[in-house]
Amino acid sequence: MGELDGLGEAVTGGLLARAVEPSAGETGDDGHTHEKSCLNCGTKLIGPFCAACGQKAHVHRSVRAFFQDFMAGLLNFEGKFWRTLPMLAWHPGEMTRRYIAGERARYISPIALYLFTVFAMFAALNFSGTFSPAGLAVDARAALQESISDDQRSLSRLEERRKAAAPGEVASLDRRIARRKKEIAEAQLALNTGKPFVAGDLDETPSWIRPFIENAKENPEVVALKVQEAASKYSWMLIPLSVPFMWMLFPFRRRYNSYDHTVFVTYSLSFMMMLVVIGSLLVAAGFTTLASCLFFVPPIHMYRHLKGAYQLGKWSAIFRATLLVGFACAAGGIFMTTAVAIGLS
């Protein structure tokens, strides 16, 4: 190690490092600390790590050490990540059971995985354009273009009929022609000015909803951004919302407590978000049919996860998984409606 530290000092500028470092409690030019007690908490050292707080006995004060700490953290996460992911996909019940039983250092903790997958999900959705403001704007323009060509076809059909029309039909045809022309002009204007436009009027919409829809028509990108913001900001709410439902699924099983349910729910939600990541990447790559097959995965995963984590029999697991799927749809629906309502407000 001494040799390597010499290398680090050469990189960071040997003289400067030597002038600064000794005051930090370092003993010599080798860059090591030789402490009798922990530098973090002061506990007397009896090994390479502090017995009280877990910090390393020797620390280094160099730029190289700074990046080594970062890399170690990253590799530790990555190592756990590749151990956690396959287990979560193929043996979710076993992993959840093991984590609850105490194998905590082995896997990524449920909440860390959850936060990571929320981040990954929104990144994937934006990348694939499935839910991104920019993607919505492109969709809106394409839809507008299409409706203009539809209207133009309809207009030329009407004009053909007008030529050979009986005198009684002329007035009605003229009205329809005028309406088509107006629609085309409006859509063309929307396309030219970049202001998206939605065909149809709002006369049948309750008056209190109208301002929200007008807002969505005027600024679809702002609304999409706000919906996305609300969904990511409140994504953690899905965990506390789901735990009471797990109590209801296991009313007479005292050996499973809220901690167990929270771990189960958080790992389960993380897996579902990973599916969204995979699905949106498949859509982005053009594998739409394959992506739609992913809709069958959640019920199967919930069944296997419940069966393994709570050590259920086949029928008991099928029964509870059915209830869980129904609940997940309801909770997901309520969550999305709330996010959209926040986005529109």
Contacting residues toward Zn ion, per CB under 5 A: 38, 40-41, 43, 50, 52-53, 55
Q: Which is nearer to Zn ion, 49 or 335 (CB)?
A: 49
Q: How far apart are CA 80 and CA 85, in angstroms?
A: 8
Least distance in angstroms from the C-beta of 65 to Zn ion: 18
Q: Which is nearer to Zn ion, 47 or 286 (CB)?
A: 47
Least distance in angstroms from the C-beta of 103 to Zn ion: 24
Least distance in angstroms from the C-beta of 49 to Zn ion: 8
Task: For residue 285, give the 3-state DSSP assignment.
Answer: coil
| HEC assignment per residue over 47-88 | CCECCCCCCECCCCCCHHHHHHHHHHHHHHHHHHHHHHHHHH
Chain position carrying tokens 């620390």 = 59
Least distance in angstroms from the C-beta of 50 to Zn ion: 3
187-211 burial: b if 16+ Cβ within 10 Å, else e: beebbeeeebbbeeeeeeeeeeeee
Q: How far apart are CA 296 and CA 331, in angstroms?
A: 18
Q: Which is nearer to Zn ion, 56 or 80 (CB)?
A: 56
Both structure tokens of 334: 């309520």
Least distance in angstroms from the C-beta of 332 to Zn ion: 45
Q: Which is nearer to Zn ion, 45 or 173 (CB)?
A: 45
Q: Which is nearer to Zn ion, 55 or 232 (CB)?
A: 55
Q: Which is nearer to Zn ion, 43 or 345 (CB)?
A: 43
CA angle 111, 115, 121 (to 5 degrees): 135
Q: Which is nearer to Zn ion, 37 or 258 (CB)?
A: 37
Least distance in angstroms from the C-beta of 104 to Zn ion: 20
Q: What stretches of the chain show up as alpha helix (H) in DSSP?
A: 2-12, 14-20, 63-90, 92-101, 110-128, 133-163, 167-193, 210-218, 220-233, 238-249, 258-284, 288-293, 297-309, 314-344
Least distance in angstroms from the C-beta of 56 to Zn ion: 9
